[in-house]
Amino acid sequence: MVPAWVAGFCAAGAPLGLLEPLVRRGVDVSVVETVEWNPQSKSSDPALVNRFPLGHLVSATNPQGALAWFQANPGRINEVDSRGMGLLHRLASTRWSDGANQGFVWAPFVRAVMEAGGDLGALTPQGFGVLHLLLENPSAWWVESFEDVIVLLHQASPGLMEQPDKRGRRPWEMLAEWLREKEQEIPLRSWPKLKALLHCHRLNQTLEEGIPAGETGRARL
């Protein structure tokens, strides 16, 4: 198991090269045990202990380092944490608009994860797929390449947009609902890609019905 101080350094953005001496000495660097703090309590809850593959932890604050890690360890791209969440699930549920990675362009990173064999269709034990988590709160992903990531995932596996979670929600329905609700907040350049994607799922007419053309030029894109 990765020593806590090393894991902390890597999670804070330090080079993953710090692990090389440990690997040479036979230290297992595959798993990091962390405690997720309970905001309702001043002490840690043993039930919140989670065991993360190292790549999960590093990707949260050091995406470049995580990418190098997975490229060097291609067989570990689909490792899950002790709660059954894979790397892409964790990426999709993280608030990338906060913190040091605010300007990071995520589409190339997600593409690299996919090219390394990332399982796009995997569901968490709670029944959520990558796109379900991504679309739960897309504003958190509203960095430069949000729409590129959605289109990229769709192109790589069109069936993801039709994949229901345990509540029966399909990602294209979630996307259409969010677009109708947040239309004024969406950058104009994003609409052609997102509307073209919805058109693939026969929703273009429904979307335009929800956005009066007299109120915005976006409906005519």
Which residue would you say has higher pLDDT here, 79 or 189?
A: 79
**pLDDT tens digits for range 7-37:** 666 655 556 666 667 667 776 666 665 555 4
Q: Is residue 32 part of a domain?
A: no
pLDDT at 38: 45
Residue found by looking up tokens 């596996």 in the block: 157
**Three-class secondary structure assignment of the chain:** CCCHHHHHHHHCCCCHHHHHHHHHCCCCCCEEEEECCCCCCCCCCHHHEEEEEHHHHHHHHCHHHHHHHHHHCHHHCCCECCCCCEHHHHHHCCCCCCHHHCCCCHHHHHHHHHHCCCCCCCCCCCCCCHHHHHHHCHHHHCCCCHHHHHHHHHHHCHHHHHCCCCCCCCHHHHHHHHHHHCHHHCCHHHHHHHHHHHHCCCCHHHHHHCCCCCCCHHHHC
Q: Is residue 14 part of a domain?
A: no
pLDDT at 78: 86
Amino acid type, 95: R
* Number of domains the chain is built from: 1
Q: How far is CA 164 from the centre of its chain?
A: 18
- Mean pLDDT within 72-76: 74
pTM reported for the whole predicted model: 0.66
Which residues constitute the domain of residue 130? 49-96+103-209
Decide if pLDDT at 59 tops 60.
yes
Q: Is residue 75 part of a domain?
A: yes
42 — pLDDT class (breaks 50, 70, 90): very low
- Mean pLDDT within 77-105: 71
Q: Is residue 92 part of a domain?
A: yes
Q: Is residue 150 part of a domain?
A: yes
| Contact of 91 with 110, CB cutoff 8 Å | yes
Decide if pLDDT at 65 tops 50.
yes
Sequence-distant (≥ 6) Cβ neighbours of residue 131 within 8 angstroms:
92, 150, 153, 160, 161, 163, 171, 174
216 — pLDDT class (breaks 50, 70, 90): very low
Most confident range (mean pLDDT) of 57-71, 83-97, 101-115, 147-161 is 147-161
Instruction: End-to-end CA distance of the chain: give it in Å, rounded.
Output: 52
Determine how many CB atoms are found less than 10 A away from the CB of residue 58: 27
Q: Is residue 139 part of a domain?
A: yes
Sequence-distant (≥ 6) Cβ neighbours of residue 115 within 8 angstroms:
none
Q: Is residue 154 part of a domain?
A: yes
| CATH code of 141's domain | 1.25.40.20
| Contact of 175 with 183, CB cutoff 8 Å | no
Which residue would you say has higher pLDDT here, 204 or 111?
A: 111
pLDDT at 49: 59
CA distance 52 to 86: 9
Mean pLDDT of the chain: 68
With vertex at residue 92, the alpha carbon angle to CA 87 and CA 93, rounded to the nearest 5 degrees, is: 100
Q: Is residue 27 part of a domain?
A: no
